[in-house]
Amino acid sequence: MSDDAAPRPLADWTTPEAFGIDPARVDPLLVDLASTAVEAARAATAVLTTAEVTGVDTKISPTDMVSDVDRRSEAEVNRVLGSRRPDDAVLGEEGTTTGGTSGVRWVVDPLDGTTNFLFGLPQFSVSIAAEMDGSAVVGVVMDPSREEVWAAMTGHGSYRNGQRCEVPEGRSTLATALCATGFGYRPDRRVWQAGVLARLIGEIRDVRRLGSAALDLCWTAGGRYDAYFEWGLNPWDLSAGSLIAAEAGARVAQVGNRLVVAAAPSLFGPLCDLLERSGGFDAPAGPEPDTA
C-alpha cells in the first residue's frame, strides 16, 4: 500500500469506496453490516472532533482514563446500531452489553487511545467490528487526525481510503523488522513488559509504542510496521483491527498468555520464537483485564 491514498473528509467516503466492493457482487448482509459500521463510526468520529471534554474518570488504574467524550461517542454508536440493527448484540468498551437474536454482535471501541486524545496527541481512533459465529466479518477503524478510514470485509481484502492494503511480505527479516507494541495500565505489568522488550530489542530494528491498538493493527496491515505484538487485549481493542490486518495478508494469532501477534507471514514464526525466548509467553498472573 502506498501512503499517497488521498485523505478527504471522512464523511465523504461511501461504503463501496471504503471497502473496495461492488455491492451487487457481495452478500447483502455483509453490505448492510459494512454500511452500518461506516455510519456508526462517522457518528462517533463527529463526537471526537467537536466535543469538549468536561469530565474524566479512571477505571482499572489511576493511569487508565475514561472521559465523557468516550461515553458520548459510544452513545452515538449505540444510537446508529439501535436504529439500523436493533436485533443485534453489542459489546462496547464503555459498558454497553446487550443481547441479540440476529446472530450478529457489534464490538465497539468508541475512542481507542483515550490518553492520547486527552493529551492532544494525534493517535486515536474509533474501532467498530461486526462479528458472526465469534469471528469478525466487517471491520472499520476511523482515524480523524489523518482523515483515514481503514476497512475490511471477510474474503474481500483490506483498504485504506479506498486503496488496497497488503502487508509487505519479504520486505524485512527479523533483524530489520520495525515492530509496534503497547503497554498495560497496571504498573507491575508495564515493568514486566519493559523487561521483555529489553531482552528482544537488540534482535530487531526498533520498537514503536503510539497508543492505539486498533491503529497499530491497521498500520501493520498497511506496511507502516512489519509487525505488532501486545499483551492482554480485549475484544474491542482487537476485533476490527485484527480483521483488517488479516485481510491484508498478515498472520494474526494469540499465543502464550494473552499475547497477540500480527506480522507478515515470514516474520510471524521468528518473532514468536524471539518473544518466547525473551519471556513474552509467560505473562505474570494478575487481575484482568490488563488493558482497557
CA-CA distance, 191 to 46, in Å (whole number)?
36
Is position 291 within any domain? no
**Same-domain pairing of 93 and 151:** yes
DSSP state of 280: T
User: What phi, psi does 221 have (nearest 5°)?
Assistant: -60, -40
Q: What DSSP string runs through 165-222?
A: E---TTS--GGG-EEEE---SSHHHHHHHHHHHHHHGGGSSEEE--S-HHHHHHHHHT
Cell of 114: 483515550
Over residues 250-277, the pLDDT tens digits come to: 999 999 999 999 999 999 999 999 999 9
Cell of 231: 499483551
3-state DSSP assignment of residue 153: strand
User: Final residue of a domain: which of 123, 143, 165?
Assistant: 165
CA-CA distance, 226 to 204, in Å (whole number)?
11
Is position 48 within any domain? yes
Q: Bin 280: left if φ > 0, else alpha if -120 < ψ < 50, else beta.
A: alpha
Is position 283 within any domain? no
Structural domain count, the chain: 2
**Same-domain pairing of 116 and 199:** no
**Same-domain pairing of 156 and 213:** no
**Same-domain pairing of 233 and 105:** no
Short-list 237, 260, 290, CA closest to 108:
237
Which residue ranges of the chain lie beneath pLDDT 70?
Answer: 1-6, 58-66, 286-292
H-helix or E-strand containing 47? Answer: helix 28-50
What is the domain extent for residue 118? 10-165
Is position 292 within any domain? no
Is position 144 within any domain? yes
Q: How much is the pLDDT for 2?
A: 57
CA-CA distance, 160 to 93, in Å (whole number)?
24
Is position 120 within any domain? yes
DSSP state of 287: S
User: What phi, psi does 167 have (nearest 5°)?
Assistant: -65, 145
User: Final residue of a domain: which of 146, 165, 184?
Assistant: 165
**Same-domain pairing of 129 and 184:** no
Q: How much is the pLDDT for 59?
A: 64
**Same-domain pairing of 18 and 106:** yes
Is position 285 within any domain? no
Q: How much is the pLDDT for 52?
A: 83
Q: How much is the pLDDT for 288?
A: 47
Short-list 63, 126, 51, 58, CA closest to 92:
126
User: Final residue of a domain: which of 165, 199, 233?
Assistant: 165
DSSP state of 12: G
**Same-domain pairing of 217 and 121:** no
Q: How much is the pLDDT for 96?
A: 80
**Same-domain pairing of 19 and 161:** yes
Q: How much is the pLDDT for 6?
A: 65
CATH of the domain at 262: 3.40.190.80
**Same-domain pairing of 207 and 252:** yes
CA 215, 216, 222: angle at the middle one, nearest 5?
Answer: 85
Is position 2 within any domain? no
**Same-domain pairing of 125 and 107:** yes
**Same-domain pairing of 139 and 249:** no
> Cell match 463501496: residue?
16
**Same-domain pairing of 231 and 254:** yes
3-state DSSP assignment of residue 74: helix
Orientation of helix 68-84 relative to helix 28-50, angle to 10°? 150
CATH of the domain at 57: 3.30.540.10
